Amino acid sequence: MAQMTMIQAITNAMHTELKNDENVLIFGEDVGQNGGVFRATEGLQAEYGEDRVFDTPLAESGIIGMSVGLALQDFRPVPEIQFIGFIYEAMDAINGQMARYRYRSGNTYHMPVTIRAPFGGGVHTPELHADSLEGLLTQQPGIRVVVPSTPYDAKGLLLSSIRNNDPVFFLEHMKLYRSFRGEVPEEDYTVDLDKADVKREGKDVTLIGYGAMVHQALKAADQLAEDGIEAEVIDLRTISPIDYDTIIESVKKTNRVVMIQEAQRQGGVAAAVTSEIQERAILHLEAPILRVTAPDTVYPFSQAEEVWLPNHNNIIEKVNKVMNF
Amino acid sequence: MKRTIEQVENQFETFQILNEDGEIVNEDAMPDLSDEDLQELMRRMVYTRILDQRSIALNRQGRLGFYAPTAGQEASQLGSHFAMEKEDFLLPAYRDVPQLIFHGLPLYQAFLFSRGHFHGNQMPEVNAVSPQIIIGAQYTQAAGVALGLKKRGKKNVAVTYTGEGGASQGDFYEGINFAGAYQAPAIFFVQNNRYAISVPAEKQTAAQTNAQKAVAAGIEGVQVDGMDVLAVYKATLDARERAVNGEGPSLIETLTYRYGPHTMAGDDPTRYRDEEEENEWEKKDPLTRFRKYLESKDLWSEEKENEIIENAKEEIKAAIKKADEQPKQKVTDLISIMHEELPANLKEQKEEYEEKESK
């Protein structure tokens, strides 16, 4: 066991898989000699060579289109999109092409591709770096969307993603890259895709979140415990598909739900989650499901992040509402 | 400034071997083709012209769906494909079904593609993907396939096609630029048939040729008489040779014309093309000039052509029958081809539809 930041765990996973599978290729803007703008690919080119880890021209559609072509030649591409806001440039290549290839070819071809991209607020990035655009991806059939919140999950989920034979979009929250360390085994291990994780057990209310909001939920749960409210915190980890078995089991125990996301209310996956819960467990609900989200504006100018981004106080407020409904 | 543009454009003169009268005008460039090869090329062009006529008729009868006519483009499509090896990888656009058929896709599957059935896209050991609908996407994918071939150390190329309208897309430029940056073995075709639906080539760009767009990627660019099957074949062969020798990708513009509408979904070319222009291009018909050339060498006859036409019609009839016999698609089929391991939502939905389908 070693203490690692999330970004170290991510680098460690890529090391593991470059060694394990010669078909794995890592490429993107500045991921080679430079080691990535966040050092996620630090040292990889030096160890595995320019044939395996390489820089690309500055063109996101080209990067993902090229990934599709490399997958058609049985490689296992792990491309990087430098910041999530730049995926608009590659939306056809991702949603229009890669996600559909197994289906459009009637299972003749498949796309074992993992796209990595940083996203997420709280670090005062310039425009279109931090937006939560996962909702655009979760609406597309044929692609899984994974968002780790801890170093341990990040390594295990990234290894599972790379080994999966269908496309995975792997979203890495910038605020979580280096904000804390956690125990991460040096050896090979995986965390199952499509499975949520109960990060804290509780009996009074279920808090569901992903990415940085998991930590806000845990912080809220600590404070709520002081008032005698035991919150259960579920980290979705994979947000497409969503693990409803874990959610419903929790709802049946707590009978109250607050769904939390950093994305705007009209984005993300909060609406999908609340809708599925009411279809599957309405008779177990003591109160409406409330959502903690960002307001429906464009992502804030960096100085306004603090007042705009959802935080633990917003969560506590909503929990008090569902408790006193 | 003007002088520079002229200097560039002068580098892209149209390459031609066979003129409109079927005469060899560029003996030095003549490709090394046997009599049988020459006859096979003609056979493929005649076959494809018949396939086009029958496809239009079948579409009008409602026995085919989406169809993009090919008449006029036979030299461009089949001359280029004739230079490909079986192990070369083909990424066609929606009008490039003939190349796909001659690369190995059974005709009945091409018809299923037209109708909208997944089996039409299931490549049977053919190095190709199904026709691309998003104009330009095949270009960036071709760059990736070519890089893959290079990394695998294969002496093969990726071949892809778009139209002159497609050469305005971002993916067009990104595709040729990526292939150039990696010196990947790709051949990019722009089949310039003068119109992107109703928009004439002049409205796509102020550039006088599409071949010169290769300059922006720093790669080889060639403009070819796309109604001349020998010139198209030769230009492709040369590009292929450069590519497999590690000299990087090429962009080939073929000047061609479609005699029919853009697609069979209601396009009427008389709204945007005049009769005079159409007649002018009829005179350039790639079949007419190649027929004249082969006849002058005693390699072609009316009987031979009629035999090909009859064979083509028989094959088409049999293929449509086979397409008719294909089982209807079920929702559970569509669910099954989404992922290797079905996610929970699809498992649930599959069960739901299995129940419906069993009733």
CATH number of domain containing A281: 3.40.50.920
How confident is the model at residue A291, as a pLDDT?
Answer: 98
Cβ–Cβ pairs < 8 A, chains A and B = 137
What's the structural domain count of chain A?
Answer: 2
Residue pLDDT, tens place only, B128-169: 999 999 999 999 999 999 999 999 999 999 999 999 999 999
Tell me if residue A265 falls in helix, strand or coil.
coil
Question: What CATH number has the domain bearing residue B127?
Answer: 3.40.50.970
Confidence of residue B2 (pLDDT cuts 50, 70, 90): low
Q: Which residues of chain A have pLDDT under 50?
A: none
Residue pLDDT, tens place only, B29-52: 999 999 999 999 999 999 999 999
Q: How far apart are CA B173 and CA B150, in angstroms?
A: 21
Specify whether B194 is catalytic: no
How confident is the model at residue A313, as a pLDDT?
Answer: 98
How confident is the model at residue A1, as a pLDDT?
Answer: 78
Domain assignment of residue B337, given as a range: 329-358
How confident is the model at residue B3, as a pLDDT?
Answer: 77
How confident is the model at residue B157, as a pLDDT?
Answer: 98
Please tell me which residue in A110, A124, A129, A312 is annotated as part of the active site: A129
Question: What CATH number has the domain bearing residue A22?
Answer: 3.40.50.970
**Is A192 contained in some domain?**
no
Which residue's entry shows tokens 């559609």? Answer: A61
| Total-model pTM | 0.97
Of the residues A157, A184, A211, which one is the last residue of a structural domain? A184
Partner-chain contact A97 B141, CB within 8 Å: yes
Q: How far apart are CA A242 and CA B346, in angstroms?
A: 11
Q: Are B211 and B176 in contact (CB under 8 A)?
A: no
Domain assignment of residue A167, given as a range: 2-184
**Amino acid identity at B288:** T
Specify whether B272 is catalytic: yes
**Which chain B residue shows the shortest CA-CA distance from A167?**
B339
Partner-chain contact A92 B345, CB within 8 Å: no
Q: Are residues A313 and A170 in the same domain?
A: no
How confident is the model at residue B4, as a pLDDT?
Answer: 85
Residue pLDDT, tens place only, B208-242: 999 999 999 999 999 999 999 999 999 999 999 99
Please tell me which residue in B54, B262, B289, B291 is annotated as part of the active site: B262
**Is A139 contained in some domain?**
yes
Residues in chain B: 359
Q: Are residues A74 and A222 in the same domain?
A: no
ipTM score of complex: 0.97
Considering only CB atoms, which residues of chain B are within 8 Å of chain A?
89, 118-119, 121-123, 129-130, 134, 137, 139-149, 151-152, 158, 170-171, 174-175, 177-178, 181, 334, 336-341, 343-346
Q: Chain A closest CA to B210's CA: distance in Å? A: 20
How confident is the model at residue B307, as a pLDDT?
Answer: 98
**Is A173 contained in some domain?**
yes
Of the residues A184, A212, A242, which one is the last residue of a structural domain? A184
Partner-chain contact B174 A59, CB within 8 Å: yes
Chain mean pLDDT for chain A: 98
How confident is the model at residue B1, as a pLDDT?
Answer: 58
Residue pLDDT, tens place only, B58-90: 999 999 999 999 999 999 999 999 999 999 999
Partner-chain contact A106 B119, CB within 8 Å: yes
Terminal Cα distance for chain A, rounded: 45
Tell me the CA distances in angstroms from B223 to B74, B210, B212, B219, B254, one per residue in order: 17, 8, 8, 13, 6
Residue A239: phi and psi, rounded to 5, are -105, -5
Q: Are residues A137 and A18 in the same domain?
A: yes
Residue pLDDT, tens place only, A270-288: 999 999 999 999 999 999 9
Residue A129: phi and psi, rounded to 5, are -110, -35
Q: Are residues B275 and B338 in the same domain?
A: no
Q: Are residues B186 and B321 in the same domain?
A: yes
Which residue's entry shows tokens 């910038």? Answer: A174
